[in-house]
């Protein structure tokens, strides 16, 4: 691709914040400490989790960089950055979450395969760019189209990113055309993150952002868009990021028996406490995040200080001074909410958090019931242990 290249080795990686917990060095995968994650409703770029499958692409010449839109359409085009910039710009607050978030905890039940993540493979940003629906209109696909005259039903995004899982080929993923051409779905071809140009780790110069869907479908370092009949046949669509029952193992797995995961389920995690904590007797403040896929708001976050026997409801909020109403226009439908509660800890306790979304979906109680061999979508109740003693908190 003129103007940008995907290197085959890691000698030109960008700088990263020293506070990040590195889960894999090559490729670089890292997450922030729990307290940093909830220090701001909009996650600073430095603290936004880094999820990569290969060396970070390098832009040599922005003037020459372009993306191609081809496939089952009558009017294929090559678009340069100026063409994207000329389209109406939208800012969308959206939370991205790796499907492997909280994998480490799932692995404690039975070993799973994948990068070990704590609870911070997630972040909330304000993404700026053109709506994909507007971009596709440039090649003659009207808004709210489910199938093109030539039979195209899916939109495939191909990255400049090279990865070993594709045998050195490009990372790729797809979404249905009906979602891509629906302006209400807010799918972006983004060039900004939190009001600044994307940095290299997060997809500079162009990436796709698919709100409400696992992060694996928000392809970075965009190279091309292809209109295809069937969903993308790439590795990460067909042989990864699928949800299998606990009975499936590496000997009996049939990848074709499950659809690629898209929306993520309702999720929450406590971020003001680690897995094991020493606290002074008395009141403590419990804080964390809650989020659900598909634009479903958070109706409730329940907290327990006795392992789930009794519950209190936490306060929910997004922006300071604005009451959070789960399905109200004033709320960011694609973004997480923070929760908070002050509780008395008279003795050592297991603190538990669970969220409920506006469709009344609730997190499962035990990780055992949702265990899967790839360790994705651990949305079980989040549990931390508190021991009363003398701490410096």
Pair 325, 235 in one domain: no
Residue 172 counted as domain residue: yes
d(CA 331, CA 320): 12
d(CA 174, CA 385): 40
Pair 185, 325 in one domain: no
Number of domains in the chain: 2
DSSP code string of 23-70: EETTTTEEE--HHHHTS-SSPPGGGS-B--SSSPPEES-TTT-EEEEE
pLDDT in tens, 219-244: 999 999 999 999 999 999 999 999 99
Pair 289, 189 in one domain: no
Contact (CB, 8 A) for 121 and 133: no
Residue 124 counted as domain residue: yes
Pair 182, 313 in one domain: no
**Looking at 221, 239, 257, which one is the last position of a domain?**
239
pLDDT for residue 392 = 60
Residue 67: name the closest of 54, 56, 55, 82 by CA: 82
Query: What is the maximum alpha-carbon separation in the chain?
Result: 71
The CATH number of whichever domain residue 350 belongs to comes to 2.60.40.650
d(CA 14, CA 33): 20
Pair 231, 375 in one domain: no
Q: What is the pLDDT along the chain (393 residues), one digit of tens a residue?
A: 689 999 999 999 999 999 999 999 999 999 999 999 999 999 999 999 999 999 999 999 999 999 999 999 999 999 999 999 999 999 999 999 999 999 999 999 999 999 999 999 999 999 999 999 999 999 999 999 999 999 999 999 999 999 999 999 999 999 999 999 999 999 999 999 999 999 999 999 999 999 999 999 999 999 999 999 999 999 999 999 999 999 999 999 999 999 999 999 999 999 999 999 999 989 999 999 999 999 999 999 999 999 999 999 999 999 988 889 998 999 999 999 999 999 999 889 999 999 999 999 999 999 999 999 999 999 999 999 999 986 665
Pair 318, 186 in one domain: no
pLDDT in tens, 31-53: 999 999 999 999 999 999 999 99
pLDDT for residue 391 = 61
Residue 7 counted as domain residue: no
Residue 353 counted as domain residue: yes
pLDDT for residue 240 = 97
Predicted model pTM? 0.97
Residue 103 counted as domain residue: yes
Residue 373 counted as domain residue: yes
pLDDT for residue 346 = 81
Residue 35 lies in domain: 15-239
Pair 102, 153 in one domain: yes
- The residues with which 188 forms a beta bridge, in sequence order, are 131, 209
The CATH number of whichever domain residue 203 belongs to comes to 3.90.420.10
Residue 252 counted as domain residue: no
Pair 176, 283 in one domain: no
Residue 25: Cβ-neighbour burial (10 angstroms; 0-12, 13-18, 19+) = exposed
Pair 312, 224 in one domain: no
**Looking at 239, 259, 280, which one is the last position of a domain?**
239
d(CA 201, CA 125): 14
Pair 301, 210 in one domain: no
End-to-end CA distance of the chain: give it in Å, rounded.
52
Pair 233, 271 in one domain: no
Residue 3 counted as domain residue: no
Pair 231, 281 in one domain: no
**Looking at 190, 224, 239, which one is the last position of a domain?**
239
């Amino acid at each position: 691709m003129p103007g940008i290249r995907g290197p085959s080795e890691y000698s030109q990686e960008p700088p990263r914040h020293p506070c990040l917990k590195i889960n894999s060095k090559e490729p670089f995968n890292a997450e922030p400490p729990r307290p940093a994650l909830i220090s701001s409703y909009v996650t600073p770029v430095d603290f936004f989790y880094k999820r990569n499958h290969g060396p970070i692409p390098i832009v040599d010449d922005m003037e020459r960089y372009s993306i191609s839109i081809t496939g089952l359409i009558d009017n294929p085009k090559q678009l340069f950055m100026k063409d994207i910039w000329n389209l109406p710009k939208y800012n969308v607050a959206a939370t991205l979450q790796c499907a492997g978030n909280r994998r480490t905890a799932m692995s404690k039940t039975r070993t799973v395969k994948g990068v070990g993540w704590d609870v911070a493979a997630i972040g909330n940003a304000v993404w700026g760019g053109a709506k994909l629906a507007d971009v596709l209109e440039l090649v003659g696909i009207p808004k709210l189209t489910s199938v093109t005259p030539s039979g195209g039903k899916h939109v495939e995004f191909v990255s400049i990113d090279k990865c070993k899982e594709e045998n050195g080929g490009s990372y790729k993923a797809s979404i249905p055309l009906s979602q891509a051409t629906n302006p209400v779905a807010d799918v972006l071809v983004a060039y900004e993150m939190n009001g600044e140009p994307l940095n290299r780790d997060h997809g500079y110069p162009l990436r796709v952002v698919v709100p409400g869907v696992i992060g694996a479908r928000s392809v970075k370092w965009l190279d091309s868009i292809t209109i295809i009949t069937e969903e993308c046949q790439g590795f990460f669509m067909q042989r990864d990021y699928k949800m299998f029952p606990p009975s499936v193992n590496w000997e009996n797995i049939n990848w074709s028996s499950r659809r690629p995961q898209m929306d993520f389920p309702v999720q929450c995690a406590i971020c003001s406490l680690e897995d094991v904590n020493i606290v002074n007797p008395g009141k403590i403040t419990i804080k964390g995040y809650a989020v659900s896929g598909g634009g479903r708001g958070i109706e409730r976050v329940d907290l327990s200080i006795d392992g789930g026997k009794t519950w209190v409801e936490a306060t929910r909020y997004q922006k300071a001074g604005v009451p959070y109403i789960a399905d109200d226009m004033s709320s960011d439908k694609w973004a997480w909410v923070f929760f908070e509660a002050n509780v008395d800890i008279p003795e050592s306790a297991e603190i538990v958090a669970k969220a409920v979304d506006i469709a009344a979906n609730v997190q499962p109680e035990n990780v055992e019931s949702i265990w899967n061999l790839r360790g994705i979508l651990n949305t079980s109740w989040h549990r931390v242990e508190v021991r009363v003693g003398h701490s410096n908190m």
